[in-house]
Amino acid sequence: MNYHWDWGVFFKSTGIGHEIYLDWFITGLGWTIAVALVAWVIALILGSLLGVMRTLPNKALSGFASGYVALFRNVPLLVQLFLWYFLVPDFLPESLQTWFKQDLKPSTSAYISVVVCLGLFTAARVCEQVRTGIEALPKGQSNAAYAMGFTLPQVYRHVLLPQAFRIIIPPMTSEFLNVFKNSSVASLIGLMELLAQTKQTAEFSANLFEAFTMATLIYFVLNMSLMKLMGWVENRVSVPGLIGSNGK
Amino acid sequence: MTAMIQLSNVSKWYGSFQVLTDCTTQVAKGEVVVVCGPSGSGKSTLIKCVNALEPFQKGTVLVDGISVGDPKTDLPKLRSRVGMVFQHFELFPHLSITENLAIAQMKVLGRSRDEAHERGLKYLDRVGLKAQAAKFPGQLSGGQQQRVAIARALSMDPIAMLFDEPTSALDPEMINEVLDVMTGLAHEGMTMMCVTHEMGFARRVADRVIFMDQGHIVEDCTKEEFFGAPRGERAQQFLSKILQH
Ligand SMILES: Nc1ncnc2c1ncn2[C@@H]1O[C@H](COP(=O)(O)OP(=O)(O)O)[C@@H](O)[C@H]1O
Ligand SMILES: [Mg+2]
């Protein structure tokens, strides 16, 4: 291949203000993290609620949660994003519509759309993990808790959820990483996150390979760090005497 | 004598399958009743009807005069007054022994942390495990876990204790340490309903023995009558099988 590699490109001026290309990547990484973290908080809270609902004896509540999961898991993420960004705002009340479409900066409205979309999409996946975790616990655990006089909310709060969340840390780690990877869809509605900045760098500088190598490297390091973080969390909350607790 | 636990004509179905048929019996205050019978005969189901862990469709269950099946009954409150010990211990594995002993006292009875810990440790000492207070359930042997489970139930100051095969999941060498604790309780006058196949225990401490078969209570008599001359053929077969060991 007759390609002229130039790793110095990241320190060259972009021609816009005083920015060098590296600044673009840093801004992009900032947006990626901002999207993923907020979406993850939404997913974690909503998904846990839905996961609990799926295990409740109440048919209406568990039915609602199953319907939610079916809906959000079976429509492609990108389709969901376009719906949230292009369609849903049109159904908002007049005043909210003008606010969303005209008063907000384009990057802000794109940000809101992608965070809501990714949060609700991931919530469906978190819901299934939480449900699996709760269902994996022996029936005797909730029986014992009820037998001591716990109410249903107390059974979940003190007995089922603390155990379920420990069990599901490994699959939740991959959901957590998925949020970061999936956040790249934001580039398709014009949010300048990491992938969008990479494409822009490639176009402006013509150093396509360097740009994408850099993006690959950043995503890789980011995800490895998140895995380490989750491993640390798992260790922190591990229970002595249980399988997988490293004997601590 | 007033019955602490009174079951009258209790029947229960799982769909069309009848698990319990017309079960009537009672446990008086301070009485120890042993429930035995072949596997699948409905012993666990019956004992779980006492604290409403299992709902039933017909009949009444009274605990200290309060109707368990009455929708108006405050079930958590009623359950908090009845201790239950399970075959598989069911300690909460994510909590230390001290926390296992204290949590329901704090969350259900509203006791302060200090008071709950103090009481928990008192009962832990009673079952001979005070040294294990800081450990987690997974670090104890089965027999130790079951003794902690008994201490946990006792620290709620129960008016009666239910046991569902408390020694069936234990290695033989650990059975006695649990039975000893139960015997001590019985001698102190605790009202007890015990599903168990430990006939030695029944002979030593039971006042009455109930024998169940296919959801029916087929024998309900004093232990002298039961071990002397059980009337039913099924009970005789069951006894001869179980006493061979
Ligand atoms: N949740 C359930 N659904 C359907 N059948 C059940 C359920 N739980 C128990 N049974 C059946 O009820 C019968 C009595 O069970 P159980 O009370 O556990 O018996 P035991 O404790 O005497 O061994 C058994 O035949 C069992 O298969
Ligand atoms: Mg049983």
Nearest residue to A173 (alpha-carbon basis) of A55, A73, A44, A68: A44
Q: What is the mean pLDDT of residues A49-61?
A: 96
| Alpha-carbon distances, residue A240 vs A247, B12, B146 (angstroms) | 6, 41, 18
Helix (H, G, I), strand (E, B) or coil at B196: coil
Strands B32-36 and B192-195: parallel
Does position A244 have pLDDT exceeding 90, yes or no? Answer: no
Task: Please state, in angstroms and rounded to a whole number, the distance separating the CA atoms of residues B32 and B186.
Answer: 7
Contacts of A240 in chain B (CB under 8 A): 135-136, 138-139
Indicate whether A246 pLDDT > 50: no
pLDDT tens digits, residue range B141-161? 999 999 999 999 999 999 999
Taking CA–CA distances from A139, the nearest residue in chain B reads B90
Task: Write the DSSP assignment of A167-229 as a string of letters.
Answer: HTHHHHHHHHHHHHHHGGGGGGGT---HHHHHHHHHHHHS-HHHHHHHHHHHHHHHHHHHHHH
Is the pLDDT score of A248 beyond 90? no
Question: Phi and psi at residue B5, in whole multiples of 5°?
Answer: -125, 125
**pLDDT level of residue A17 (50, 70, 90 thresholds):** confident
Best mutation target, A134, A141, A148, A246, to test chain B (most B CBs within 10 A): A148
How far is Cα A127 from Cα A3, in angstroms, rounded to an integer?
Answer: 47
* Nearest alpha carbon, ligand 1 atom 16: B42
Helix (H, G, I), strand (E, B) or coil at A130: helix
Contact B53 A143 (CB under 8 A): yes
CA atoms within 13 A on the CB side of A220: 6
Q: Which residues sit opposite B27 in a β-bridge?
A: B5
| Collapsed DSSP state (helix, strand, coil) of residue B56 | coil
pLDDT band per the 50, 70, 90 thresholds, residue A206:
confident
B108: pLDDT strictly greater than 80: yes
Q: Residue A244's closest chain B neighbor by CA?
A: B138
Phi, psi of A221 (to 5 degrees): -65, -40
Structure tokens at A31: 């947006």
For the segment B169-185, the average pLDDT, to the nearest whole number, is 95
Q: Name the nearest CA neighbour of A36 among A224, A188, A213, A175.
A: A175
CA-based radius of gyration for chain B: 18
Q: What is the dihedral of CA B103, B104, B105, B109, to 10 degrees?
A: 140
Mean pLDDT of all residues in A122-132? 98
The verdict on A15 touching B (C-beta cutoff 8 Å) is no
For residue B51, the chain A residues in CB contact (below 8 A) are: 147
Which ligand 1 atom sits nearest the alpha carbon of residue B46? 17
The alpha helices in chain B, defined as continuous H runs, are 43-50, 75-80, 97-107, 113-126, 142-154, 172-187, 199-205, 223-228, 233-243
Assess whether pLDDT exceeds 60 at residue A40.
yes
A144 and B CB contact within 8 Å: yes
Taking the centre of ligand 1 as the mean of its atom positions, its distance from the CA of residue B24, in whole angstroms, is 19
Nearest to A50 by CA among A109, A143, A122: A122
| Cα A115 to ligand 2 centroid, rounded to whole Å | 50
- From chain A, pick out residues whose CB is under 8 angstroms from the CB of B166: none
Say yes or no to pLDDT of B231 above 70: no
Q: What is the mean pLDDT of residues B80-98?
A: 97
Average pLDDT for residues A43-62, to the nearest whole number?
97
Q: Which residue in the block uniquely carries the two structure tokens 């360097």?
A: A210
Average of per-residue pLDDT across B8-33: 97
Q: What is the DSSP string of A29-92?
A: HHHHHHHHHHHHHHHHHHHHHHHHHHHSS-HHHHHHHHHHHHHHHHS-HHHHHHIIIIIGGGGS
Contact B221, B34 (CB under 8 A): no
Which residues, judged by CB distance below 6 Å to any ligand atom, belong to the binding site of ligand 1? B 14, 19, 37, 39-45
| Alpha carbon nearest to ligand 1 atom 27, residue | B40
- Residue nearest atom 3 of ligand 1, based on CA coordinates: B14
Q: Is the pLDDT of residue B68 over 60?
A: yes
Specify the residue for token string 């698990």: B19
- Give the three-state DSSP class for B102: helix
Return d(Cα B86, Cα B227) in angstroms, integer: 26
Q: Decide if A153 touches B, using CB distance below 8 A.
A: no
Which amino acid, residue A100?
A: F
Domains and CATH numbers, chain A: 7-237 (1.10.3720.10)
**pLDDT tier for residue A247 given thresholds of 50, 70 and 90:** very low
Structure tokens at B195: 């599903």
Q: Residue A56 contacts by C-beta under 8 Å, 6 or more apart in sequence?
A: A62, A152
Residues in chain A: 248
- Give the up-direction half-sphere exposure of residue A207: CA atoms within 13 A in the CB hemisphere: 20
A152 CA to chain B: closest CA distance, Å?
9
Beta bridge partners of B84: B162
What is the Cα–Cα distance from A119 to A111, expressed in whole angstroms?
12
pLDDT in tens, A22-36: 999 999 999 999 999
Q: Are B164 and B208 in contact (CB under 8 A)?
A: no
Using a CB-CB cut-off of 8 Å, the residues of chain A touching B92 are 141, 144-145, 158-159, 163
**H helix or E strand, kind and range, residue B82:** strand B82-85
Instruction: Let me know: does A38 contact A115? Beta carbons within 8 Å.
Output: yes
Residues of A whose CB is below 8 A from B77: 149
What tokens does A71 get? 């809906």
Indicate if the alpha-carbon torsion angle A80, A84, A90, A93 is positive or negative: positive
Nearest to B138 among A147, A154, A240 (CB): A240
Nearest residue to B215 (alpha-carbon basis) of B201, B234, B196, B237: B234
- Residue A243, pLDDT score: 60
Whole-number mean pLDDT of chain A? 93
